[in-house]
A and B are shown apart, each in its own frame.
Chain A
């Protein structure tokens, strides 16, 4: 086992959590659901860092409790219809119709509300656990090449987010310093609009800087197809040359920031973008264009397969059972292939990719194993184990397989490297 503290690959945590959520979706047994939630809490408590996203786990727990209460309230108050009446509430009916609320509250309704509410609540806890454990920034940096643009948009959004707060403070300070009317009635117009305009202006500066550094450029449409000239051979008035002229801009121009990177050592990762300037860009040659065509065809085929597969799940009479599921799986495979092909057109390297080692595989396998156990129990296990009846008001069943199956998911709490503390994470 690796003794060094390091954060696990975020994908591993997500696979683990999806496995647990899939297991929760197979059962309404409150004992099994409680166990799954407890395992989530245990792993989160032992393997989360002290980053802000990790602290939001409490919020997910709150949402889960809220969902259980909502479902309980719905069943008890609006849909109560069972044999064992707990207490009676005055019934309210819409005049002249059968639209009635409240009335008798039955124990069966309460139980059924709790069972099904817990199912949804525990799935939310699983997602919350993934959120708390996986670093969203590292997840973004693992964005596949096909949606590279999408990843950059989200990265920009997350980076601009704190700047907006600063912008709001600056604008309101200016507003207070200004003489004349400062009525709260104009607050929206006097604060929001300047901040908004300021943000858009900044976005154009950011775009110029990004363009100059090669971010967000997929195919260099400025350079004609088949053009293999290097930067120095491109004529003086070629549009790409524009960014070279930025070098001569005044000292405080925003794009200047990136020039400071020039002073970095030769093997600094940001240097990669410098090399883009000098390379002959052959991205847009015929090979790439035909692969683009193939990838779009694959994407359309995948979408069609997924649509038809989903339809067959809803209407099982339309297609024999296995075919629909096969279409879904096949659609996902084709989608993956199209995605991979579309990503090939994207000549961007990854900055310090997260490694995928033994603990990552173990974590992912633990999560998926729980899902497999539950699916198997659902199919071959005793009746009423995963879906206890609410009718008889009996204690739900439990089995050793269920216990073992869920406890497997707790392994990552002990068998993975501990997360680094926040000081070390700043990298």
Chain B
């Protein structure tokens, strides 16, 4: 049975998604390659302008992604999975990097495809923010980063040659991807947070500060030092371990449940009746 996606990605949507992903990545990573000429008044506003523009980009991508016509089954599935993620998220928050959102995102992206994974990442975070009062300037960045986690899971190879990847091989791939995604997500969110918390405002010589306009390698070195000290060692490792444990313990069952739901929902193209 070939994979059928409830949120199909056409060529136009794929181009748009790629464009927005590149732009989004630039909005995360701007401290590394921004030029800081003191006369250009906008460099210091850059993070605030991005905070305003990224939600617009997310909305535009959503409008285009839903263009293909999601049916009620896809909507209901997205809504229910988002609600489950919104329940799971506060369970882990605050307990030292125990993150319980990623495993469901990864598995849903794997089963329902990259488009569904991206939308689910965004809607999960948005619903969770609405329900637990987490709306803030960080929200659209978290949404995009989680969208990428789901998108990437959907893009993992489905078959080797003619053989479908299932069973232990699939679980191994998902676990490796989960660890990779956990660290990358942590790094991305740190990168977003870094200039806000640690901008070199007064010419200090700290090894952890962001220095506007410094060469990319210099800032990259500083960023990794900052990240390693503040979060990678504890939070991101905790996130990777939690995701791995849950994937190994629950992964096979959840994959089976989602695949069964997918079969029952029959997300295949709708049969069209021609007029005779």
Contacts and interface: CB of A to CB of B under 8 A. Distances in A.
Interface of A: 22, 25, 53, 56, 59-60, 63, 70-71, 74, 78-82, 98-101, 108-109, 112, 116, 120, 123-124, 127-128, 130-131, 136, 140, 146-150, 152-161, 164-165, 188-189, 192-193, 196-197, 199-204, 206-208, 210-211, 215-219, 221-222, 224, 226-227, 238-239, 292, 295-296, 299-300, 302-304, 306-307, 310-311, 313-317, 321, 324-325, 328, 332, 335, 338-339, 342, 390-391
Interface in B169-217: 196-209
Contact of A204 (B12, B249, B264): B264
B134 to A, nearest CB: 9
Interface in B96-155: 119, 123-124, 126-127, 130-131, 133, 135-137
Contacts of B207: 98-100
Contacts of B198: 74, 78-79
Contact of A222 (B127, B208, B270): B270
A352 B53 CA distance: 30
Contact of B73 (A25, A98, A207): A207
A45 B230 CA distance: 36
21 contacts: A71-B197, A74-B208, A79-B200, A81-B204, A99-B207, A100-B207, A109-B204, A123-B137, A128-B136, A153-B78, A157-B131, A160-B83, A161-B83, A193-B250, A196-B254, A202-B80, A304-B19, A307-B26, A316-B35, A324-B42, A338-B63
Nearest to B205: A81
A22 B23 contact: no
Given A60-B133, A204-B265, A216-B75, A313 B49 contact: yes
Given A200-B77, A307-B19, 11 more contacts: A99-B207, A140-B130, A149-B75, A153-B82, A160-B80, A161-B131, A188-B246, A189-B249, A193-B253, A207-B72, A317-B37
Nearest 5 Cβ contacts at the A-B interface: A156-B79, A316-B40, A56-B133, A79-B206, A216-B72
Contacts of A98: 207
A306 B59 contact: no
Interface of B: 12, 15-16, 19-20, 22-23, 26-27, 30, 33-35, 37, 40, 42-43, 45-46, 48-50, 53, 56-57, 59-64, 66-67, 69-73, 75-80, 82-84, 86-87, 119, 123-124, 126-127, 130-131, 133, 135-137, 196-209, 225, 229, 246, 249-250, 253-254, 257-258, 261, 264-265, 270-275
